[in-house]
Amino acid sequence: MPINPIEHVLARMTGRNITRGWGAVAAIARKLMNDMLHEQYRQRLSDLRFLPLFNAVVDHEDHVRTRSKLRNIEFGAPLLSFTNASLSDSRAQLTFPIVAGEYLQRSPLAENLLTSFIIDESMGFTLVMAIELRLVTGEVDHRGRVTLDLREASSFSCNLAGAAEHVNERIAAAIEKEFADLPQHRGQFELGMLDFSGYTALTPTHFRILTQAAPGAKTLGADNYGDGAVLAFIQLQANDHEGELPEHDFPYLIPDDRNSDGSEKYSATMVVDKSMLKHVTDDRLDVLASLLFSTSHKFAEKERHEPHDLAVFGTIDAVPALYSIRSKSATMLAGEKQQFTLVDQQGAEVRATNWFARSRQSRLAIGDGKIDGNGLYQAVGLPDIGHHSLTILITAEIKKDSQMHRATTQLVVHFEHEQVSPQIGVFAARTPMVLSAALQADEINWSLLGEQHGQLDRAQGKRVTFIAEKPASRRQLSVQRVQAKGQQQRMSTLVMLNGLQSLAIEPARTTGLEAGQSVSLRERDPAFLAGAQRRWRLIGPGQLEGRNYTAPSGNERGTSVVVCEAVNNGVVLAAGYSLLAFGEPLLAEEGRWHELRYHKVTVPGGDANESYGELINHGLQPLHVAVEIEPLPVDGKYYRLSEDERASIGLYFEGSKQRLVALNDDNPSGGIEQDDLHRWGTRNVPNRFQPAYPVSIEAREENVTRRVLYLHCGDEADVDVTLYSGFRVDVGGTETSLKFDSQIVVRPKAAPVRDQSDYYLTPVRVEGGGDNPDPNRPIDPEMPDDPAFDFHLKTIDYWVFRLKDGSFETAEFIKRSSIYPVHQSMIRWESEHHNETMFSFTGSIFRDRFSKEEEKWMNLEVKIVFDERLQKLMGGRKELDTDVLLERFVEGAFVITNHRVPDFSYKAPGELDRDTLSEGFYVLLRDHQGNPHYLYFKHEAPLYSSPRNYIDYFIL
C-alpha cells in the first residue's frame, strides 16, 4: 500500500503554488542517485580514480596499549540515504560497505592478546558519514553539477571493532583524516546536472540544493527507511531573482506508486511555476531538457498534471551502454576459470578485438591471471595469489567504424570463500562480541560449542552478537567456541580475559598446524608461583598429552586453546593460554619492490631532451607529462608498482614541494577555471582540447610503470615553473623523481592575439537561387545592382565563419551590456518605412559534440536555431522551423544563417524584443586549443547594397 500515492501528491499541490518564487523544482529519488554512484564507482576502478586502500595503526589509548592494525581496507560502492535530511540544508548520509582487508588487534604488553579476521563484503562492515551536496558550475560547458565531496564529510562512524565503540570512534577518526587528504578526482562524486547553456525563458541559470526524507523514511525498521530525494530549486532566465526556500511542510513530490511487477513507477518529478507556462511552446519544457546525468541515464516523462503549477512525473531510465560485459558471477576462487562475454546494446553477443585482465593489488603480473581471446579468464592459483582477495578489472576492446570502444567489469578472486569474523577474539567479558560470517549459504546458523559461557542474541543471520555471562567476567580466563554453519562451517574462538595474564605460555600463538602435527608448550617463567600446582587443559579439537598438543586429523579447521592454571587449594591464582590454529591454508604473502632503478618525468614532444614544454595559460589546453618508474628486481623477481601507488602519482612544485591539485576529470571541457584559487593542476584524462604537443605514448616493458598526466595552467605568462613527480608508497613515505635528478620546466604562454586575417567569413547560398553573395565584389557606381539579391527575394544564405589555422569547439552567445539580454538572432528591414515588408532575420548552426544536442546531430535531425524572441515577433512562421542542410554545413565552423523574406510587415521600435533583435550579437568561440575568440556579428553591407543582405564581424 503506497504511503505517498500520486493522488496524494496532487492533492497537496491543488490550488496552491509550491515553487515559492522559483521557476521550477526538480525532485530526484534516492535509488537513481545510488545507481549513478555505483556506476561511477565501477568506472573509477578502470581509470585510477578509486578510493585508496586504507592502512593504519590505531591506538586504543587503554592501559595495555592495545592497537588495531588495519591492512588493505577496501571500500565498496557508496550508498546515499536521507535519515538526516531536514529540508533546511543539503545534508545526507553516505555509507560505504567495507569489502576486503585484514583486521588485527593486539597489545605489546601481552603477546597473546590478539583479535584477527579477514574481511569479506558479506560480513556487513560499513563506514558511515554525513555529507553535504554541493553545486559546482563549469566555466566552459555551463553545467551546474550536484556533487558530494568526501573531503568535506563529517560524523564518521564504523563497526569494524564490533561493540567496542571507543575503538570504532578512533578507527573512524583515522579514516576521516585520510579522506580529508584525498585529491579531488578521487574524493568527489557527481549525482546529476542542470545545463545552463541555453537562451530561452525556461533555461536554468542557477539552482539551490536541498535534501528531503520520504514520508515515514526516518523510522528505523520501516520498509522505506533512509529513502528520500534531492531537491533542486531552479531559477530560470524568466525569473528576476531567486525564490524562497521551503518550509517544513513542503510536499514530497515523488509518488511511491508501484508497477505491476513491484518496481517503482516514478523516480523523478519536475514542477514548473504556473507563471512560467506562458513561455511553453509546443509542450516543450526546456528546463526538462536541461536535466542531465553524468552516467548513462535520461529523464522519461510518464504523465503531466496541472493542479496549479505544472507537475511532470517520470522516471530516470538507464540507457544501455554501447557495449558491456557479462559473466555468471562477480566472485571466484583462486585457480578457477570463468567465461566473460561482450554484448552490444541489444544484448547480442559480439566478438571483442582484445581482452585484458589487471589486478588492483598484485605487484606481480601473475596476479592478474590470464584471459584468452575468447574472454575465458583463468584466475591466479592459490600458491601465487599473495593476498586474501584480489580485485580484478576485466576489460574488453572492440574496434568499430575505426573507433576503439572499451567495456570494463569487476571481479573478486578469493583465497578462500568462507570466512568468520573474528577467527580469534580476545576481549574483556563485559564487552559484547559481534561475530560475522561469509559462507556460501542462503542462511547461516550459529551455535555455541562445548561449555557455554554466554549466549547469542540470535541463532541465524550473517551477524550475531555474543554476550558473556556474568561469571565469565569474574574468572581470570574463559574460552567460548562459536560455530557458523552454511554449506561449509567455520569456527570462531573467543577468549574472555579479566586483566592481563601473568602466567605466560610459549609459544603464545601457533598458526598453520597440519593434521596430526604436534607442538610442545612450556611456561616462560617456571619460577613464577613455583609452589602452586599446574593444571593444563585443552579447549577445542585435538589432543593434549602433558604439555604436548597434537592437531586433529582430517579436514577440521579452527583454533584450539590450551590453558595452563596455577592452582592452590582449588583456587586459581593465575592463568595463561596458547592459541593453536590448525587446518587453515597458509597464505604466502606477495613480496614488493624495495628500491627503484629509475624514476623520471618528461614532456613528450617537448624541447631540451623532453625536459621543457610550453602551454597556453588560459587553463584549458593540456600538456602531456609522462612519468616512468621501474623498480629494481628483488631475488630475481620484478615487482611493479601497485595500482594504488600508480594512482597516487602526481606532480609537485620544485620550490615549495607542494603537490599540484588534481582537477575534476568528469567535465570533458574542464581545466583551470578563471576563478579557481589554484593556477596549476592535473587531470588524469584528456579534455576535449588539443594538447600543446602532438604525442604518441609508446608501449613499455611490463615491469615499467608509465603514467600520463595532463597539466593545465592559468598562471602568469613567460614565468618558468619547475616540476617533479612523486608517488605515495604503500608501506609509507613518498618517492620522487628528484632522487634521480629528473624534473621538467614548463613555461606558460599567452593565447595568440588574433586579427581579421586569421578568419574566413564565407557566404553560401543554400536556398532561393542565384549566386553566392560576394561582399568583396567591385562596385560600379553606374550599375549599383547586386545580382545575388535583386531578383531573388526569398533566400537563405549560410555565412560560414572559420578559423584559418584550426576549428572551433564551443560557441556561446554572451551579453554586450547589462541593459540588453543575451540574444541569438538579429533582424533588419530594407528600410525604416512603416509600410516596409522586405525583411531579414538570422539563425545559427553550431555542432558541439559534448552538448545535449549531439543526439540530434547523430540522428540527422538538426534544426537551425533561432532566438526565442524571434519566435514571438514573427508569430511562429514556418521559416522558423528549418532543417540544417548538412551537406552545406562545415564542421568546426560557426554558421550564421541569413533568411530574407518579402512579406513581413514593419514593426516600429520601442518594444524590448524588437529593439534587442535589431542589434548585432556577441559570441564567445573557443578553438581547438581552448583559446577564446570574442566576436561581434551584425548586419552590414558594402556600398550600394542593402545592409540586411550581408553579415560582417568585428573582433573584440
Q: List the domain range (segments joined by +) for residue 710.
A: 596-749
Q: Indicate if 651 and 696 belong to the same structural domain.
A: yes
pLDDT for 839 equals 97
Q: Are 235 and 22 in contact (CB under 8 A)?
A: yes
Spatial distance between the Cα atoms of 314 and 320, rounded to a whole number of angstroms? 18
pLDDT for 499 equals 74
Q: Quote the cell numbers at residue 160.
A: 569494524
Q: Give how far Cα 454 sits from Cα of 485, 496, 499, 563, 693, Å.
A: 19, 11, 19, 19, 71
In this structure, is residue 295 part of a structural domain?
Answer: yes
Q: Quote the cell numbers at residue 105.
A: 588487534
Count CA atoms within 13 Å of residue 630 on its CB side: 11
- For CA atoms 32, 37, 42, 48, the dihedral sign is positive
Beta bridge partners of 334: none
Q: Quote the cell numbers at residue 800.
A: 560560414
Q: Quote the cell numbers at residue 99.
A: 569489502
pLDDT for 316 equals 86
Spatial distance between the Cα atoms of 149 and 153, rounded to a whole number of angstroms? 7
Q: Indicate if 830 and 738 belong to the same structural domain.
A: no
Q: Indicate if 601 and 708 belong to the same structural domain.
A: yes
Spatial distance between the Cα atoms of 43 and 47, rounded to a whole number of angstroms? 7
Beta bridge partners of 510: 580
Q: Are 688 and 668 in contact (CB under 8 A)?
A: yes
Cα dihedral value 780, 782, 784, 785, nearest 10:
-110
Q: Indicate if 310 and 353 belong to the same structural domain.
A: no
Closest among 374, 390, 379 to 340, alpha carbons compared: 374
In this structure, is residue 454 part of a structural domain?
Answer: yes
Q: Are 792 and 892 in contact (CB under 8 A)?
A: no
Residue spans of beta strands (DSSP E) within 261-327: 268-272, 291-292, 297-305, 310-318, 323-326
Closest among 812, 808, 750 to 930, alpha carbons compared: 808
Which are the contacts of 42, defined by CB distance < 8 A and separation ≥ 6?
A: 77, 408, 409, 410
Beta bridge partners of 794: none
Spatial distance between the Cα atoms of 310 and 605, rounded to a whole number of angstroms? 57
Q: Indicate if 457 and 508 belong to the same structural domain.
A: no
In this structure, is residue 447 part of a structural domain?
Answer: yes
Beta bridge partners of 455: 467
Three-class secondary structure assignment of 758-775 = HEEEEEEEEECCCCCCCC
Closest among 690, 748, 692 to 717, alpha carbons compared: 748
Q: Give how far Cα 415 sits from Cα of 388, 391, 483, 576, Å.
A: 5, 12, 21, 33
Q: Indicate if 400 and 470 belong to the same structural domain.
A: no
Q: Are 217 and 226 in contact (CB under 8 A)?
A: yes
pLDDT for 648 equals 95
In this structure, is residue 936 part of a structural domain?
Answer: yes
- Average pLDDT of the chain to the nearest whole number: 91
pLDDT for 803 equals 98
Task: Among 379, 414, 449, identify where a domain stops.
Answer: 414
Q: What SS3 class is residue 543?
A: strand
CA angle 694, 697, 699 (to 5 degrees): 160
Spatial distance between the Cα atoms of 251 and 4, rounded to a whole number of angstroms? 10
Total domains, the chain: 6
Which are the contacts of 545, defined by CB distance < 8 A and separation ≥ 6?
A: none
Q: Are 534 and 462 in contact (CB under 8 A)?
A: no
Helix (H) or strand (E) holding 26: strand 24-29
Spatial distance between the Cα atoms of 747 and 729, rounded to a whole number of angstroms? 30
In this structure, is residue 40 part of a structural domain?
Answer: yes
Q: Indicate if 700 and 786 belong to the same structural domain.
A: no
Spatial distance between the Cα atoms of 366 and 387, rounded to a whole number of angstroms? 12
Q: What is the largest CA-CA distance in the chain?
A: 136
In the chain, the amino acid numbered 708 is: V
Q: Give how far Cα 446 sits from Cα of 373, 455, 465, 539, Å.
A: 45, 11, 10, 19
Q: Are 52 and 44 in contact (CB under 8 A)?
A: no
Q: Give how far Cα 925 sits from Cα of 362, 841, 932, Å.
A: 47, 21, 6
Beta bridge partners of 124: none
Q: Indicate if 762 and 877 belong to the same structural domain.
A: yes
Q: Indicate if 279 and 293 belong to the same structural domain.
A: yes
Task: Among 480, 500, 520, identify where a domain stops.
Answer: 500
Q: Quote the cell numbers at residue 187.
A: 574524493
Spatial distance between the Cα atoms of 86 and 248, rounded to a whole number of angstroms? 8
Q: Give how far Cα 47 sits from Cα of 219, 289, 812, Å.
A: 39, 30, 31
Closest among 919, 951, 918, 920 to 936, alpha carbons compared: 920
307 φ/ψ angles, rounded to the nearest 5 degrees? -65, -25
Q: Are 917 and 821 in contact (CB under 8 A)?
A: no
Task: Among 284, 318, 352, identify where a domain stops.
Answer: 318
Three-class secondary structure assignment of 599-623 = EEEECCCCHHHHCEEEEECCCCCCE
Q: Quote the cell numbers at residue 388.
A: 586474501
CA angle 660, 662, 668 (to 5 degrees): 135
Q: Find the CATH number of the domain harbouring 347.
A: 2.60.40.10
pLDDT for 637 equals 92
In this structure, is residue 313 part of a structural domain?
Answer: yes
Q: Indicate if 438 and 526 belong to the same structural domain.
A: no
Q: Indicate if 767 and 742 belong to the same structural domain.
A: no
Write the DSSP assignment of 880-919 as a string of letters. GS-B--GGG--TT-EEEEEEEES------S-SHHHHHHTS
Q: Quote the cell numbers at residue 567.
A: 592452582
Record the pTM.
0.88
Q: Are 803 and 793 in contact (CB under 8 A)?
A: no
Q: What SS3 class is residue 717?
A: coil
674 φ/ψ angles, rounded to the nearest 5 degrees? -60, -35
Beta bridge partners of 301: 314
Spatial distance between the Cα atoms of 940 and 942, rounded to a whole number of angstroms? 7
In this structure, is residue 832 part of a structural domain?
Answer: yes
Q: Are 715 and 679 in contact (CB under 8 A)?
A: yes
- For CA atoms 407, 413, 417, 420, the dihedral sign is negative
Residues of the chain short of pLDDT 70, as ranges, are: 109-113, 141, 282, 292-296, 697-700, 779-784, 818-819, 942-944
Q: Indicate if 18 and 128 belong to the same structural domain.
A: yes
In this structure, is residue 1 part of a structural domain?
Answer: no
